[in-house]
């Protein structure tokens, strides 16, 4: 039987998930599109052939004709809606961040631990991206020896209007916090945050440069520039003792002319990570079907770790200090890796 999915939030990512479920996910049915705006829910539902629409997320989650939920509503609703899905016993694919508040992430973890089951697959989709996967596989094969540093660059064309000064750290950078932590198989011990002189820090999307230290002695740096103007550009380089591995974006053509070469940059993250989203959502469908949490997916614990670093990053930016992070013991629920993805 087809897995009936509700999408909560019909903004940029909700619409993309609706498209993936309806076009690219055999075995899944787009049952309900729910949004605070009925008109937006209807538009996406019509475009993607959803059976129904709603403006009430809690009722949607509890509906008997819903097997699983994709949460793509604003960041501040992610944790409470994940909790509602856990209470209803339904698996969730929740967009990142799990919350911008570590206490709220903890509440989700507590709810899962109480039920001795993971329900939340967190949308750190870069773990599924072929370039990050190849980097991780090459590292595991010993191609560059011991990994000692990772450089990360994350640029958007323009920060969305609802962005605050902190969201470079709490909304954008969590992708790198998670990707580097996953790549290096390490936890962070400290973060320092720098900002170029003269930028208006209260302005949406002011650039930040972060330096993180891991419990395995590695250094990770992350530049987030949400007003880079020229295109969506994510770069990464993993440096080992015997070599380095750079990510490359899926570019299909290069134009040559006028003594120059041109490559195309996408306007936002969706084309760059289209395959990552597709593979992530496919893994989620497998999770719903089998109950086995996908081996490489991020869970609530990973979301909690990213939010803790983000909170420390915000404090580091405010105070100009290097902020240490305490070592934490994770519940055995989050150490189990049951499923191997093909």
Binding site for ligand ISE (CB under 6 A): 156, 171-172, 175, 269
CB of 130 to ligand ISE, least distance (A): 16
Q: Which residues neighbour 70 within 8 Å (Cβ) at sequence distance 6 or greater?
A: 5, 6, 7, 8, 14, 17, 21, 92, 93, 94, 281, 284
Residue whose pair of structure tokens reads 């004709």 in the numeric block: 65
CB-nearer residue toward ligand ISE: 7 or 147: 7
CB of 207 to ligand ISE, least distance (A): 12
Q: Which residues neighbour 231 within 8 Å (Cβ) at sequence distance 6 or greater?
A: 155, 157, 265, 266, 267
Give dist(CA 38, CA 50) in Å, integer: 14
> For residue 105, what are its two tokens?
């992430």
> For residue 147, what are its two tokens?
């990994």
For residues 177 and 208, the answer to whether their CB atoms sit within 8 Å is: no
CB of 155 to ligand ISE, least distance (A): 9
Residue whose pair of structure tokens reads 């787009």 in the numeric block: 30
CB-nearer residue toward ligand ISE: 156 or 280: 156
Of 215, 248, 212, give the one whose Cα is nearest residue 133.
248
CB-nearer residue toward ligand ISE: 133 or 330: 133
CB of 62 to ligand ISE, least distance (A): 27
Give dist(CA 288, CA 286) in Å, integer: 5
Give dist(CA 249, CA 235) in Å, integer: 8
For residues 188 and 307, the answer to whether their CB atoms sit within 8 Å is: no
CB of 245 to ligand ISE, least distance (A): 21
Helix (H, G, I), strand (E, B) or coil at 212: strand
CB of 209 to ligand ISE, least distance (A): 15
CB of 269 to ligand ISE, least distance (A): 4
For residues 275 and 97, the answer to whether their CB atoms sit within 8 Å is: no
CB of 157 to ligand ISE, least distance (A): 10
CB-nearer residue toward ligand ISE: 52 or 275: 275
CB-nearer residue toward ligand ISE: 160 or 339: 160
Of 280, 101, 65, 309, give the one whose Cα is nearest residue 82.
101
DSSP letter at 109 equals: H
CB closest to ligand ISE, residue no: 172
Give bridge partners of residue 93 from the DSSP assignment.
70, 121
CB-nearer residue toward ligand ISE: 240 or 266: 266
């Amino acid at each position: 039987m087809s897995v009936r999915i509700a999408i909560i939030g019909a903004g940029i990512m909700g619409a993309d998930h609706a498209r993936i479920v309806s076009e690219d996910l055999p075995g899944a049915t787009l049952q309900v599109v729910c949004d605070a705006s009925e008109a937006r829910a209807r538009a996406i539902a019509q475009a993607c052939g959803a059976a129904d629409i709603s403006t009430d997320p809690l009722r949607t989650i509890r509906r008997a004709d819903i097997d699983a939920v994709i949460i793509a509503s604003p960041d501040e609703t992610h944790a409470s809606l994940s909790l509602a899905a856990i209470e209803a016993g339904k698996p969730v694919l929740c967009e990142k961040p799990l919350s911008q508040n570590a206490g709220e992430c903890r509440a989700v973890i507590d709810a899962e631990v109480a039920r001795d089951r993971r329900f939340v697959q967190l949308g750190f989709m870069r773990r599924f991206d072929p370039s990050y996967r190849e980097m991780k596989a090459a590292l595991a094969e010993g191609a560059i020896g011991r990994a000692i540093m990772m450089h990360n660059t994350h640029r958007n064309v323009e920060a969305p209007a609802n962005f605050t000064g902190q969201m470079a750290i709490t909304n954008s950078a969590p992708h790198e916090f998670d990707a580097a932590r996953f790549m290096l198989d390490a936890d962070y011990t400290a973060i320092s945050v720098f900002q170029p002189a003269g930028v208006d820090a209260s302005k949406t999307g002011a650039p930040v440069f972060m330096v993180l230290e891991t419990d395995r002695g590695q250094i990770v740096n992350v530049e987030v520039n949400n007003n880079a103007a020229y295109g969506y550009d994510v770069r990464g380089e993993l440096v080992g003792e015997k070599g380095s591995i750079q990510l490359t974006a899926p570019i299909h053509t290069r134009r040559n002319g006028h003594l120059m070469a041109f490559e195309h940059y996408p306007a936002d993250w969706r084309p760059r990570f289209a395959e990552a989203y597709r593979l992530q959502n496919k893994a989620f469908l497998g999770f719903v079907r089998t109950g086995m949490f996908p081996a490489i997916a991020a869970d609530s614990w990973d979301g909690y770790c990213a939010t803790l670093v983000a909170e420390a990053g915000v404090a580091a930016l405010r105070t100009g200090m290097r902020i240490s992070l305490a070592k934490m013991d994770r519940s055995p629920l989050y150490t189990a890796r049951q499923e191997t993805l093909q």
